[in-house]
Amino acid sequence: MPPMTFDAIVVGSGISGGWAAKELTEKGLRTIVLEAGRPIDPAVDYVEHVLPGEKRYRGMGNRKQVERYQPIQRHTGACDEWSSKFFVNDLDNPYSFPEGKPFYWIRGRQVGGRSIMWGRCVYRWSDLDFTANAREGYGVDWPLRYNDMAPWWSYVEKFVGIQGRRENLPQVPDGEFQTPWPLNAAEQKSRDILLTKFGGERVITNARLAVLTEDHGGRQKCHLCGHCARGCITLSYFSSINSTLPAARKTGRLTLRPFSVVHSVIYDPTKKRATGVRVIDANTKQMFDVNAKVIFLNASAMESTRILLNSATSEFPNGLGSSSGELGHNLMDHIMDGGASGTLPFAMDKREIGNRPDAIYVPRFRNVKTKHPDFLRGYGFEGRAYRPAWDRGSEMPGFGASFKKSLIGDLGPWVMDFGGFGEMLPRHENYVELDPHLVDAWGIPALRVHCSYSENEHKMQDDMVVTATEMLEALGATDIHPYKEDNPPGLVIHETGTARMGRDPKTSVLNSHNQVWDAPNVFVTDGACMPSTANQNPSITYMALTARAVDYAHQLLNRREL
Ligand SMILES: Cc1cc2nc3c(=O)[nH]c(=O)nc-3n(C[C@H](O)[C@H](O)[C@H](O)COP(=O)(O)OP(=O)(O)OC[C@H]3O[C@@H](n4cnc5c(N)ncnc54)[C@H](O)[C@@H]3O)c2cc1C
Ligand code: SF4
């Protein structure tokens, strides 16, 4: 097959790839998006309104099938009877890790990637985050600061549509928000109490979400059905399928090719540029090339790095972009599974209306004004106050009309949960490499992942339990259950790093505009580029970095410098 030729190639159609496609096409570039997975038809694939009784296993899932084909994916709660189809088949997409050192790599392989199942929490960073590596001597300094990013966050937030409450907290700056939902009565009362008892330091606010509370850009506001990981037929939450890919398609310059597994980037040593990518058709297994002036790798953090590792040349024997020795290194996730829940003593006469898709957030308060003696960096809490209501009947004895009536009549008290999400330090010894023996279903070398949490993360997790318990005590909660689980990294599904940005080609893979130092017409704008993780959910930052990098690439193309 002769190579196809476009102005731009985007690898992957998930959160960051969708943005690359939108921005490149809107700037006039004929762009092909190469997506390894299948197409998605919202009319068929979105199942947020399908009731448990309509599912074959009544929502409990086909355990045997999931254990066989998704032994890794099943560890995330979203991989249920409705949504397991959006998570990868682990047998076709293998990877390895050393015995006793697991990493749970949770992936989606379809048009839209994980933007279909993501939790939609979106937070800006502050300079507390951007300067942390330099201040504390971990990893490399970010080549960016808040002021470089702020206009790009604004740009993407306005398009995405975000519900959030303005709080004026310097550590988690406010963004461009739609009208927030009101907190429920128990959350509002908890907010008021904690603001007083902790002097404004611990703030319960709305989780900032990429979900519409007002109609926006042809998408309808959320109707609170509450099962977003299954799709959204009213396009109320942001996903590539709901938002960026339609915008790219509207330009008439988008070619979207599903079932196109990118094997490697093709590098021309005489031009010192990439000329295109090598692709395997997922169905026919036929190999073909696609050429373009500029290539955006958006296959997700570790997949983009895998493509670079598989693109070794005689000049770059350890992979394209490996001249610093950092390609594959500094893998990070967040740490979670530290927190507490308890029963609240108030708001017994109030109830919730609808199923809000997410609830509250307590922004980072550790190592903001004063230094914590035990650990660096910080964490925030996600959580919610809810009344167990009729759901609790599934774990109680009883049946029939009177049983159901008793569950509806007595909603039970409010329960509050605070679950921590903390920053993981970048460390060279957490890395990915090509497994010398393992290949995927298309014969492409797979990754071997070496990753573990350090003492800093474990101490932070201990502190999550302490502070969550303190807050519940301050609320007068009873029946307080502190919890801490020892899950492996990966499960937070915020994997980042492995091709970090930096100021110096000797210590980083990408420059401050996400260009591969060794191949300037290749840009990596997914999570691979991150020199640190902060504690905030990362995807809105990938979107902003992508829009910023496309703008820069477009300037270079206009100046004929690519
Ligand atoms: C249950 C869940 C909850 C989450 N909650 C949040 C949250 O609240 N906030 C947040 O910020 N993040 C959240 N995340 C993480 C978020 O989904 C990811 O950070 C984000 O999707 C990453 O975007 P991406 O473009 O890098 O990759 P993805 O969205 O994963 O897309 C990558 C795409 O590349 C394709 N691809 C991979 N390899 C190749 C190849 N070789 N050739 C061609 N195509 C390829 C894949 O098929 C996929 O479509 C959550 C994720 C999950 C699963
Ligand atoms: S809760 Fe809102 S955003 Fe989520 S699926 Fe339902 S309508 Fe869509």
Pocket test for ligand 1, best of 10, 11, 13, 15 (most atoms within 8 A of CB): 15
Mutate to test the pocket of ligand 2, among 178, 227, 353, 356 (most ligand atoms within 8 A of CB): 227
Best mutation site among 225, 233, 241, 358 for ligand 2 pocket (most ligand atoms within 8 Å of CB):
225
With a cut of 90, say whether residue 524 has pLDDT above it: yes
Q: What is the pLDDT of residues 257-311, one digit of tens each?
A: 999 999 999 999 999 999 999 999 999 999 999 999 999 999 999 999 999 999 9
Distance from residue 231's CA to the centre of ligand 2 (Å): 8
Q: What residues form DSSP beta bridges with 262? A: 279
Pocket of ligand 1 (CB under 6 A): 11-17, 34-37, 76, 78, 106, 108-110, 113-115, 117-121, 229, 260-262, 298-300, 303, 307, 493-494, 526-527, 537-539, 542
Domain 1-39+52-163+208-333+432-443+491-562 falls under CATH 1.10.260.40: no
**Alpha carbon of 382 to ligand 1 centroid (Å):** 20
pLDDT reading at 403 higher than 90: no
Q: What is the structure's pLDDT at 316?
A: 96
Residue 535 has pLDDT above 80, yes or no: yes
Q: How confident is the model at residue 396 (pLDDT cuts 50, 70, 90)?
A: confident
Q: Looking at the predicted structure, is the pLDDT value of residue 238 above 90?
A: yes
Ligand 2, atom nearest to 235 Cα: 8
- Exposure class string for 314-345: b at 16+ Cβ within 10 A, else e: eebeebbbbbbebbbbbbbbbbbbbbbbbbbe
Bridging pattern class, strands 8-11 and 294-297: parallel
User: Tell me, what's the pLDDT at 404?
Assistant: 84
Q: Which of 251, 273, 248, 278 is nearest to 263 (CA)?
A: 278
Closest residue to atom 2 of ligand 2, CA basis: 222
Over 80: is that where the pLDDT of 106 sits? yes
Is residue 399's pLDDT more than 80? Answer: yes
Helix (H) or strand (E) holding 254: strand 254-257
Res. 411: pLDDT tops 90: no
pLDDT of residue 351: 86
pLDDT band at 409 (very low <50, low <70, confident <90, very high): confident
Ranges of H-type helices in 70-226:
127-130, 132-136, 146-160, 185-197
* Token reading at 166: 């303005």
Residue indicated by tokens 């609790």: 392
In this prediction, residue 171 carries a pLDDT of 97
Q: How far is the CA of 257 from the centre of ligand 1 (A)?
A: 18
pLDDT at 408 exceeding the cut of 90: no
Contacts of 70 by beta carbon, 8 Å cutoff, 6+ apart: 79, 84, 87, 88, 89, 90
Rounded to the nearest angstrom, the distance between the alpha carbon of 44 and the centre of ligand 2 is 16
Considering only CA atoms, which residue is closest to atom 8 of ligand 2? 232
Residue 495: the pLDDT is: 98
> How far is it, in rounded angstroms, from Cα 263 to Cα 281?
10
Over residues 405-411, mean pLDDT: 79
- Whether pLDDT at 233 is above 90: yes
How many percent of the chain have pLDDT more than 70?
Answer: 100
CA atoms of 87 and 70, how far apart (whole Å): 8
Ligand 2 centroid – CA 220 distance (Å): 10
91 — pLDDT class (breaks 50, 70, 90):
very high
Listed by start position, the domains of the chain span 1-39+52-163+208-333+432-443+491-562, 178-207+336-422+453-487
Helix (H, G, I), strand (E, B) or coil at 4: strand
Q: How many other CB atoms are there within 10 angstroms of residue 87's CB atom?
A: 27
Q: Note the pLDDT tens digit of each residue in 330-381.
A: 999 999 999 999 999 999 999 887 888 878 999 999 999 999 999 999 999 9
Average pLDDT of the chain to the nearest whole number: 96
Confidence of residue 407 (pLDDT cuts 50, 70, 90): confident
Task: Give the number of the ligand closest to the Cα of residue 80.
Answer: 1
Among 539, 541, 550, which is best to mutate for testing ligand 1, by the most ligand atoms less than 8 A from CB?
539
- Separation of CA 223 and ligand 1 centre (Å): 25
Q: Tell me, what's the pLDDT at 487?
A: 95
In percent, the amount of the chain with pLDDT more than 90 equals 91
> Which residue of 232, 235, 238 sits with most ligand 2 atoms within 8 Å of its CB, as the best mutation to test the pocket?
232
pLDDT value at residue 88: 98
Q: Whose CA is nearest to atom 24 of ligand 1?
A: 300
The tens digit of pLDDT for each residue in 28-81 reads 999 999 999 999 999 999 999 999 889 999 988 999 999 999 999 999 999 999
Nearest Cα residue to atom 7 of ligand 2: 222
Residues with CB under 6 A from ligand 2: 48, 211, 222-228, 232, 234, 236-237, 357
Q: Among 1-10, 105-114, 127-136, 170-179, which stretch is predicted with the lowest mean pLDDT?
A: 1-10
504/355: higher pLDDT: 504
User: Which ligand is the nearest neighbour of the Cα of 219?
Assistant: 2
- Rounded average pLDDT over 117-124: 97
Confidence at residue 412, expressed as pLDDT on a 0 to 100 scale:
83
pLDDT of residue 391 exceeding 80, the answer is no
Q: What is the pLDDT of residue 339?
A: 98
Nearest ligand 2 atom to alpha carbon 226: 1
